Structure 1
Amino acid sequence: MTEGKQDNQLGSTSVDTGNIFKIELDQCNSAFGISADTLRLLAASHNVTPEALITRAVTMWAQAVIPDLDLDSPSLTPAQIELLHQRQQTADANTTQPQQTLADAFRKLLEGTGENHENAESRRPRDGGHS
């Protein structure tokens, strides 16, 4: 990448050029991403382009983390923007902490399960468990 670090840097393997993004994928699948081959095959299995699949995935992610996201609105509300800034500050604080071991990561993951976990609501059936 030839661009210098920007305040809104996307990451070491992506370049933001306005409304177009260049994403470089790893050669193999990992816990942090999928390979280009996997992306292509997954997209083809849904009869969409890889770009459409990525856009849909990011849309679903945005819907999961931004309260009352209006997909018909071209911009976020000030409250939604503030929420994202707070998430970024939390993420920044977490990245400056010492690296945790794999055992610590699993322990944290196991502690985060159950009804009181932040993602517990998303694991419940949409019909309330009734058929």
Structure 2
Amino acid sequence: MTEHPQEDHLEPTSVATSTFFKIELEQYNSAFGISAETLRVLAASYNVTPEALINRALTMWAQAVIPDLDLDTPTLTPDQIKFLEQRQQHADVKTTQPKQTLAEAFKQLLEGAGENHDNAKSSPRNGGHS
């Protein structure tokens, strides 16, 4: 990857005006990202640069996520921007809610069964057989 001295470092809440930014790759392949070596080998297998491979992956991701994305239009429509903002708000709500413990989730599950649930009805110990 090439480094650009006057690049913008993208933060989760910032908007970059530059066309360059730094990508920090993992030292080893993991669920959080791939290593620089994996990126280089993968790009070489397609006979493209690592930058071109990343751009293609991001394009495919954008096509999968943004409704009616037109790759011939340089900007997003107001509806597409609104959709992505709503997606962000939904993600913010999920991350600010306190995490539920397994015990709390189990208790909520049991309380949710209610009296009308099949398991709430008493059944004979012999399974209903005489």
Q: TM-score range by the shorter chain?
A: 0.5 to 0.7
The RMSD of aligned alpha carbons is 2.5
Provide structure 2 residue ranges, at least 5 long, that are not aligned to the other structure. 1-8, 102-130
Alignment of 1:1-131 (within 5 A): 7-8=13-14, 16=16, 18-99=18-99
In 2, Cα distance between the equivalents of 1:73 and 1:42? Answer: 29
Counterpart position of 1:128: none
TM-score normalized with structure 1 length: 0.63
- CA displacement at 1:99 relative to structure 2: 4.5
Provide structure 1 residue ranges, at least 5 long, that are not aligned to the other structure. 10-15, 102-131
Q: How many residues align?
A: 94
- Cα distance change on mapping 1:4 and 1:44 into 2, 3 Å: closer
Which runs of at least 4 in structure 1 moved beyond 4 Å after TM superposition? 3-6
From the CA coordinates, give the structure whose radius of gyration is larger: 2
TM-score normalized with structure 2 length: 0.64
- CA displacement at 1:7 relative to structure 2: 3.4
Percent identity of paired positions between Structure 1 and Structure 2 = 70
1:19-59 CA-to-partner distances (Å, cap 9, x unmatched) read 10111111001112111111111000100000000000000
